Structure 1
């Protein structure tokens, strides 16, 4: 039996258990190694940070975030992007996640990895607030796994919120930078529209929404015997049996995201795509509706969708 199928079965079972998110974290950390903050994982997230900052700078003409309120959707276990926003001067950084993934231990693990790669990290970020860098160093040296998560986050101008963002109310906030990484693809189609619409409503004039979408089969990340298009062979009924609510995958292609933005009248002023691998797509007996899409559209594996609200 292939490794990806075993992982699917285990996660399906875990999804019925109490404390399922915590159990899944340990399963992925110690068995599949899917959530460990290894070097590749760290620098993937770091590159997203730099890209979001570049999208903001292209709109506002400034390299710093001083006076800016930011929001990240789906931060997960390791808040590399919020920490980067803090170092660039952001006044406040909201992190909204449907599940309480972030813990004191994962925050400290994140700071440990930043320190380990600090030369490359700081070179990539460019000018930062040095006082804030010192705050990071102090937390790393002084905090323990029993330290209060909320207290540590407060020192980083970081507000973690566990909530469905559609129910979030921030009536006095004007958010100029909203971002997500590897999040859209984990949201079920029936709720994604409401979430994107909410994000756009929170975007202030002159603000930017920058979202990175990974449209690859995430089971292929740990099982190299399948391609990143493997999950497109299954009908919707078959996929419902395989998929799980812990790490759901909606299997949308970029064409469908474009259609959603158009339906919501949300402009996207920039789109950056990875073309993917047509040869691998052609090896898969595609199920509907993917068989009816242009192969080039099916093959696109990753993309940024960037929307800018006029000032």
Structure 2
């Protein structure tokens, strides 16, 4: 985490009316999609569909997405794959009248690849895309969402931003919201988001900051940049604690990152809370979980 990044984050956290300012900026300057980010979303969403199908999950039911954000690429792909109705949710309003056209414009030239991955015809995907009409709830209050109301709950690159003390609680809320025998699927980015820019540091640099250190406490002040630093095993434990049955789980552990974490341990740079944990767990850059609600 570079000092200039930390300073910018603290400035954003201190700004009054930050949400209002963001909405005003969106009206004055149209949202410009991040094509690299959208590409990651495209790949992750298809991986989630593959994981659910491999677990024997039918995709013809109702789906709720936690933390939908600006552009509904993932839920649009799920709808193309067979989901009948999608509910999008956010704590702060990001979705607007440009969101669906932006997602469709990104997906249209990639329909042949999506059709190959989904085992469907391009024409069928085009027809499903034209029918995409999700519900949108903002601000979403998980504890007040109707019980047993959806078949699948999903999220992508969201769970890592949930405060550590709230992860199991959110999983319990989703257990109540999903129908008996239904599923949840989460694609989670376990990396240090501060290192996504210039790439000069390790994707696990944040494991070197003790939780009680001034630097980490300052970094966590901006809720937009907060990450909980949960590792792969932490999400599995939280899901089980909430009452979910893990159907499948996968951790991505790149050899380069594993080597970096090993070197951090050898040099004594890992924060105490991470120092004794398995290297493969610490070096997992991504988590993909499919879990089933009993019943």
SS of equivalent to 1:103: coil
Q: Which residue of 1 aligns with 2:246?
A: 268
Tell whether 2:89 aligns with 1:96.
yes
Q: Could you tell me the TM-score, scaled by structure 1's length? A: 0.80
Instruction: Indicate if the aligned counterparts of 1:60 and 1:206 stay in contact, CA closer than 8 A.
Output: no
Q: What's the CA shift for 1:113? A: 1.1
Structure 1 gaps of 5+ residues are 28-34, 138-154
Q: Which residue of 2 aligns with 1:163?
A: 139
SS of equivalent to 1:15: helix
5 Å matches for 1:92-171?
92-127=85-120, 130=123, 133-134=126-127, 136=129, 156-171=132-147
Q: Could you tell me the TM-score, scaled by structure 2's length? A: 0.84
Instruction: Indicate if the aligned counterparts of 2:175 and 2:244 stay in contact, CA closer than 8 A.
Output: yes
Q: Which residue of 1 aligns with 2:34?
A: 37
Q: What's the CA shift for 1:61? A: 6.0
Q: How many Å separate the matches in 2 of 1:131 and 1:168? A: 36
SS of equivalent to 1:225: coil
Q: How many residues align?
A: 280
Q: Which residue of 2 aligns with 1:196?
A: 171
Structure 2 gaps of 5+ residues are 26-31
SS of equivalent to 1:269: strand
5 Å matches for 1:25-64?
36-38=33-35, 40-60=36-56, 62=58
Instruction: Indicate if the aligned counterparts of 1:14 and 1:23 stay in contact, CA closer than 8 A.
Output: no
Q: How many Å separate the matches in 2 of 1:291 and 1:24? A: 39
**73, 83, 105: which one pairs with 1:80?**
73
Structure 1 222/132 Cα, relative in aligned 2: closer, same or farther at 3 Å?
same
**213, 217, 232: which one pairs with 1:240?**
217
